[in-house]
Amino acid sequence: MNVKILYATLLAFLVPFALLAQQGGRSVSGLVTNQAGQPVEFVTVALEGTVLGTNTNADGSFLISGVKPGTYTLRVGGVGFSAVTQTVDLTGQNAVVSITIKENRNALQEVIISANRSVEALDETPASVHVLDHRTLQTQSLVSSNISNILAATVPGLALNSNTTSNVGQTLRGRNVLILVDGIPQSTPLRAGGREVRTIDPSAIERVEVVKGATAVYGNGADGGLINYITKKPTLTQPFSATTTVLGTGMLFHGGDTFGGRISQQVSGQLKAFDYVATGAFERTGVYKDGEGQVISPLYGLGETNTYNAFAKLGYNLGTKHRVEGMYNYFGSRQQTEYVLQEGKYAQAPSIGVKGEQQGEDEGTRYNHNAQLRYTGKSLFLNTDLDLSAYVQSFYTIYGYTPYFENGGQSTILSNKKGLRLNLNTPLNLGPLKTSITYGVDYLQDVTSQPLVDGRIWVPEMDMVNLAPYAQLQVNAFEHFIFKAGYRYDNVSIDVPDFQQLRLSAGGGGNAVQGGTLDFDAHTFNLGLRYTAIAAFKPFISYSQGFSIIDVGRYVRGARENYISQMDIEPVIVNNYEAGFHSRIGKVAFSGAYFISTSELGANLKANEQGTYTIERAPERIEGFEVVADYFVTDKITIGANAAFSEGRVDLNNNGAFHDEENNYLNGTRIAPLKIASYLRVEPLAKLNLNLQWIYSGERDRFAPNSKGGYNSGEGPVQDFHVVNLSGNYQLTHKLGFNLGIENLLDEAYYLPQAYWYGRDDNFTRASGARFQIGATYKW
């Protein structure tokens, strides 16, 4: 797709709105406090019947601008608070309001944007969506600052992490999950490297929105769903505010060489029409040890690692209806260890770390840059809201040294993305039906390669261009029925140059490979319906599609002669069928969903006895359920639990029957065992809160040993385990608070599922023993 054509398309969209934009939009601002008169941060403020909404800042303030003159109902609410509505008159002037909300732990009013690219309430969208609000994120960050750990402990349906820098096997409902930062894709689908989950520090995140099930809202890679890290936003009404957090870290029982530290700083404020927020974080971890005091294997480990994050967001309001905003985030992680791997024995003794000198360069992500420039216009021509953004993402990570290549070496993944997104939302006047249409176009160029650190090329630069128009219709009928229907068309081309195949130590490779251009189209649809009249039962049904391309780089690096032009890269189109509900009855909140996920073509990564991987392009079927329950015993005590289970099979003989003897289960790289998580939250004093969390991971044994008596990669039998985490916060004054978190409080010596299903000696590694974080937070 010619870039000039793209710009002309965008210009054709924008010119009418720029010429016909209405002026004189209204605004509503104010302060939200609790019954004690204290400001309440991060609750949702929205105008009913519109797509306009925001969250309160740290000082309880909010501002909604660009509102068409008229009379509206303002709704304020959030997780842990009862919703409050108030009529605001914006016919003649702006409105300033003060609102008091009451704590109510079973309230569920979180507003999301990732599911449909427009503002909507969590329990009113016809899809499975999970939101990690700011409070939950803060609580979990006390236990671990690793965002991969935080997600695994809190998101039903997301597989557990591996306690390493890798997220291989951390699937969502048994399929790929697309990771985003403010809508910017972090995944590297052309050469899947398994490093996209851990690409930003929690200090830069305001909340996390998880959309479950196949979705094409943001394009390629979300056939299991998407995870969107929504970054911090500025504190309004104050010219300057700041927060400093300092933590010490280490192992609770086996302390030698394990101590480290973490510091993070945030500044934020507003100066007239200009606002800003910036955060910085640095962490140095000590040696990681397991529950028996042994040093955990340094193979892509998190011990002795330096992690850096720098984030900034600047905004300027051009009147009440127009805003420009720039965002930048840098993340880096580098392991500098004095240990080397000593292989254990699979299912008998763990692989550990012993003193030694690592070969090659330090492993880790050298940089992950994300930058975005965004313009938003509200209530423009035909009362349309417009969101136009341009972004870049640059990612470079280095893997460990291996003798696999001739003369040895270290592979890397280098990926550079450029994108444009135009998103519009227009309300339609259809009498009693409240209707709106969200539509636009996405453009993405992704250039990804896999060179070695010494310059040799394993996978050459693959250049993917994707242009995708889309439209989503939403109809609110008879007040309580919410119907959605959408379509997206993705046109994808991938250019692969001629290259010389890398020579391997075993003697293979070295072929001259002729490049070529690979093209495909993807048409994806979605339908959904939710009924919202009864708080005790808000059911929904939905059908949605998503797609992902296969790991092209894995094919390309093993190509022969003119193989590129013959490659079959037809995308995996996934169909997600789902039924679920939200329920609130008295002090109990409950939700559940059952899903079936199918695809005519698969992309299951399959290993043989020699460790060589192939991709099974056969039909797949995954089904499962998720349940979440919370019981708000009193204002001081809350208990809750969630559970998720799924199972999947592949139809190898393609006869439509998934349970034939010739067919098999999907392996551990795709399907996680049963996961249950529960918690107890207690506030014994006004200034003290404590959180106790229990996580259980079940067994999964679906494959027989191979002819050598071992297990092919991904097929090892997984054993169950449980772990307990503790966190607490004591707010000594309004400004000063003390924090404590302990991961694996009981110091269990256990193995995560990846250690078992890999079926290999080098990956048979224990998880961390009892590890603590203790420190203080001060608000300036």
CA angle 323, 328, 332 (to 5 degrees): 165
pLDDT at residue 104, as a whole number: 60
Backbone torsions φ then ψ of 669, nearest 5 degrees: -65, -15
For 466, the enclosing helix (H) or strand (E) is: strand 457-477
Other C-beta atoms within 10 Å of 60: how many?
20
CATH 2.60.40.1120 in the chain: give the residue spans: 1-104
Which stretch of 77-86, 202-211, 294-303, 367-376 has the lowest confidence by average pLDDT? 77-86
pLDDT tens string 661-689: 878 999 999 999 999 999 999 998 889 99
Q: How far apart are CA 434 and CA 758, in angstroms?
A: 52
Cβ neighbours for 709, distance < 8 A, ≥ 6 positions apart:
none
pLDDT at residue 39, as a whole number: 83
Q: How far apart are CA 569 and CA 494, in angstroms?
A: 10
**pLDDT at 456 exceeding the cut of 60:** yes
pLDDT tens string 324-356: 999 999 999 999 999 999 999 999 999 999 999
For residues 324 and 315, the answer to whether their CB atoms sit within 8 Å is: yes
Q: At 5, is the pLDDT very low, low, confident or very high (cuts 50, 70, 90)? A: very low
Which stretch of 92-106, 370-384, 418-432 has the lowest confidence by average pLDDT? 92-106
Q: Is 314 exposed, middle or buried (0-12, 13-18, 19+ CB in 10 A)?
A: middle
Q: Which residue has the higher pLDDT, 668 or 237?
A: 668
Q: Quote the tokens at residue 670.
A: 């795709």
pLDDT at residue 14, as a whole number: 42
Cβ burial 648-667 (10 Å sphere, 16+ → b, else e): bbbbbeeeeebeeeebbbbb
DSSP assignment of 315-381: EEEETTTEEEEEEEEEEEEEE--SEEEE--BTTTB--EEEE----SSPPEEEEEEEEEEEEEE-S-G
pLDDT at residue 108, as a whole number: 45
pLDDT at residue 4, as a whole number: 46
Q: How far apart are CA 763 and CA 765, in angstroms?
A: 6
**pLDDT at 317 exceeding the cut of 70:** yes
**pLDDT at 13 exceeding the cut of 70:** no
Q: How far apart are CA 768 and CA 293, in angstroms?
A: 9
pLDDT tens string 713-763: 999 999 999 999 999 999 999 899 999 999 999 999 999 999 999 999 999
What is the average pLDDT score of the chain? 90
Q: Quote the tokens at residue 214.
A: 């196949």
CATH 2.40.170.20 in the chain: give the residue spans: 225-779
**pLDDT at 49 exceeding the cut of 80:** no
Residue where the block lists tokens 């009928």:
477
Which architecture does CATH list for 1-104?
A: Sandwich (2.60)
Q: At 18, is the pLDDT very low, low, confident or very high (cuts 50, 70, 90)? A: very low
Residue where the block lists tokens 């609750």:
43
Q: How far apart are CA 488 and CA 219, in angstroms?
A: 8
Q: Quote the tokens at residue 308.
A: 């850096």
**pLDDT at 187 exceeding the cut of 50:** yes
Q: How far apart are CA 142 and CA 129, in angstroms?
A: 24
pLDDT at residue 10, as a whole number: 44
pTM for this entry: 0.88
pLDDT tens string 65-105: 878 788 888 888 765 677 788 899 988 889 999 999 876 64
Q: Please state whether 37 falls in left (phi above 0), alpha (psi between -120 and 50) or beta.
A: left
Q: What is the mean pLDDT of residues 687-712?
A: 95
DSSP assignment of 260-312: EEEEEEEEEEEETTEEEEEEEEEEE----B-TTSPBBP-TTBSTTEEEEEEEE
- The DSSP secondary-structure symbol of 168 reads T
pLDDT tens string 138-148: 999 999 999 99
At the topology level of CATH, where does 225-779 sit?
A: Maltoporin; Chain A (2.40.170)
Q: Where are the alpha helices (DSSP H) in 439-582?
A: 552-556
Q: Quote the tokens at residue 338.
A: 């004095």
Percentage of the chain exceeding pLDDT 70:
93
